[in-house]
Amino acid sequence: MTEKNIRRFQTALLLITNPIRSRIPSILSAVIPYVERNLYIVVQNLHTQASNASPERFFDREQQKRCIRPMLHAIYKQVTSTKNPSVDVLLHNVDSVIKSTNPLRLPSLCEAVFADCSPSPGLYDYCRNHFHQLDQNFELRTIDEKDGKEDQLIENSSTRENDLFSHKSTTPYNRGVLGGTFDRLHNGHKLLLTESALLCDEKIVVGVTDGIMIQNKVLGEIIEPVAKRMSNVSSFVYLIRPSIHVHCEPIEDPCGPSATMPDLNCIIVTEETQQGAAQVNKERAENKLSQLPVHVVSMVPADEDNLDGDIKLSSTSLRREMLGTLLRQPLKASEPNRPYIIGLTGGIGSGKSSIARRIEKLGAAVVDCDKLGHEAYKVDTDAYRKVIETFGNDVINPTDRSIDRKILGQKVFQSPDEMKKLTNIVWPAILNLAQERIEQFFQQGKRIIVLDAAVLLEAKWTVAVNEIWIASIPPKEAIRRVVERDHLSVEEVKRRLDAQMSNETRLPYANVLLCTYWAESITQKQVEHAWQLLLQRIDNDASSV
């Protein structure tokens, strides 16, 4: 392909006729810049050029598997950081030979075919006859690359004792089981599922983690619903190998169906989850079921800018990309000559206050509603008098007539009804004080003002803000932080955490989500990113008036 051929295609087919792993980086580098949405890959026929192939002669299921399998890790390793196009390796030719009388129906209309072989007169007609769903005027491009040596044609991927592809067994591995979260299906998931679909010829059972197994995952509250994740797994496997039956079910323990289903004959794991296979076989033994041979799939390496310390590609990094961005439209648009209010909230240990300080340094003013709570109880204010009327004179400190908050706490903390009476008095008073502070800051020239409030959502102060920013942290990390900071017991912190809104309950309110789980420098980048996007939104609102 020459520099002048700059046309980009929405969807294309890549036909690999000379399957040598070492060629994959250059092939994909030559193709991916020209494809915007979907790239389907077919590894086709050993020792033959597609233009004059006689595939019937070479078709053999195990041979096809040995041909395709070394390509999988090479392909997905190469496209680790590729978000567009989506890259899928089609396995249809494992079940039946692709020929003019039995063409492969591509998943969607392809505007181009890229082939890794020399141009030949019959290549265009071969593609037209052997692949359905090619655009009527599809473009054929051949990749200008030197062929590899003949003795490189069949490369062995790194073999290990539990590599079922390298075992000569009289029992085919027809029914395999695997598990994972499968959030935001990425190339690591695709490699695991594609190799599973290649190994098993009948059915794969997929346990999709849910419930307690995802509670402490970083940004677990934005993990896709389990029904969607299961649907994505089933749809993907059907796309790459329609003959395979996929059974998905949610699991809340590490073993799931693998420990109880009797008709399985292999378990598929990644390098990091091999120990889980041993636990599965232990439970199967206790259930008087056969032991499952273990097949290990290599992991797709993480991006170079990975912040989680993972060595593999992770859904966490995809969830992290949402931080600081606008998840849903603001509650109120910016108004001329009025302050723009950010309501900032989050649970204990979430780093909410540190985020407020960072936003303040970028130019915002901050109203600390927790501190205003003390002002609401000041002697002779309306709230002060209502508290005494409601809870009695014994809440008055005789030395200075202030509210004795310890005595008041004893009256309300064990009774939700009494607590509701108190918050009905205090929360409106705090909001009035906050609005006074907002107006003062605005008169001083501050346009963007942060309402830092732990009870923003519970008190329904959202009516006073333009956007809601939520600080999030996994519960396990929140407990660790608060125990260390406040010298409380784990049990006490858990009780406090349970009394608050959960991350999952807060999330639907978030216009912007932030997370302080990582190093401070990463939190700073998140806040700066959110701030710049906020300024753009305000400017856009101003220009549209």
pLDDT at 55: 45
Of the three residues 101, 121, 142, the one that is the final residue of a domain is 142
Q: How big is the CA angle at 433 (ends 430 and 439), to the nearest 5 degrees?
A: 140
Whether residue 306 lies inside any domain: the answer is: no
Q: 115 and 200: one domain? A: no
Note whether residue 307 is domain-resident. no
Please list, in sequence order, all residues whose beta carbon lies within 8 angstroms of the beta carbon of residue 147, skipping any fewer than 6 positions away: 18
Number of structural domains found in the chain: 3
pTM: 0.87
Tell me whether residue 162 is in a domain: no
Tens digit of each residue's pLDDT (9 = 90 or more) over 339-351: 999 999 999 999 9
> Quick one: 291 and 325 in the same domain?
no
Structural domain harbouring 364: 319-544
pLDDT at res. 172: 75
81, pLDDT greater than 90: no
- Residue labelled with tokens 């809601």: 468
Q: Counting beta carbons within 10 angstroms of the beta carbon of residue 376, is it exposed (0 to 12), middle (13 to 18) or buried (19 or more)?
A: buried
Looking at per-residue pLDDT, the higher value among 250 and 414 belongs to 250
- 326 lies in a domain? yes
Residue 123 lies inside a defined structural domain of this protein: yes
Query: Tell me, what's the pLDDT at 281?
Result: 96
Quick: pLDDT tens for 465-519. 999 999 999 999 999 999 999 999 999 999 999 999 999 999 999 999 999 999 9
- Read off the pLDDT of residues 359-376 as tens digits, 9 standing for 90 and up: 999 999 999 998 998 888
> What three-state secondary structure class fits 46?
coil
Does 211 lie in the same domain as 106? no
Tell me: do 112 and 199 sit in the same domain: no
Alpha carbons 392 and 389: distance in angstroms, whole number: 6
Residue range 522-544: average pLDDT?
91
Same domain, 323 and 287: no
Query: What is the average pLDDT value for the chain, to the nearest integer?
Result: 89
pLDDT tens string 86-107: 999 999 999 988 888 999 999 9
- Could you say which of 88, 119, 142 is where a domain stops? 142
Q: Given this model, what pLDDT does residue 48 score? A: 45
CA distances (Å), origin 385, targets 29, 276, 374, 376, 440: 74, 62, 15, 11, 26
What's residue 409's pLDDT?
86
Phi and psi at 462, nearest 5°, equal: -60, -20
Per-residue model confidence as pLDDT tens digits over 147-182: 444 334 444 444 556 788 876 655 678 999 999 999
| pLDDT (tens digit per residue) in 269-323 | 998 888 899 999 999 999 999 999 999 998 888 766 555 556 678 888 889 999 9
Regarding whether 203 and 77 lie in a shared domain, the answer is no
**Which pLDDT does position 212 carry in this prediction?**
92
Q: Is the same domain home to 259 and 326? A: no
- Measure Cα distances from 104 to 16, 31, 99, 295 in Å: 15, 21, 8, 29
Please indicate, yes or no, if residue 186 is contained in any of the structural domains.
Answer: yes
Percent of all residues in the chain with a pLDDT value above 90, rounded to a whole number: 72
CA atoms within 13 A on the CB side of 509: 26
Q: Are 115 and 224 members of one domain?
A: no
Segment 238-255 mean pLDDT: 96
- Lowest-confidence pick of 4-8, 39-43, 108-112, 394-398: 4-8
181 and 103, same structural domain?
A: no
Task: Mention every residue, 6+ apart, whose C-beta is less than 8 A from residue 480.
Answer: 349
**Is 367 part of any domain?**
yes
Are residues 74 and 177 both part of a single domain? no
Please indicate, yes or no, whether residues 509 and 381 belong to a single structural domain of this protein.
Answer: yes
Does 29 share its domain with 110? yes
Chain centre to alpha carbon of residue 90:
24
Report if residue 164 sits inside a domain.
no
Instruction: Report the CATH number that the domain containing residue 123 is assigned in CATH.
Output: 3.40.50
Specify the CATH number for the domain of residue 378.
Answer: 3.40.50.300
Domain ends where: 248, 264, 297?
Answer: 297
- Whether the pLDDT of residue 145 is over 70: the answer is no
- What CATH number does the domain containing 268 carry? 3.40.50.620
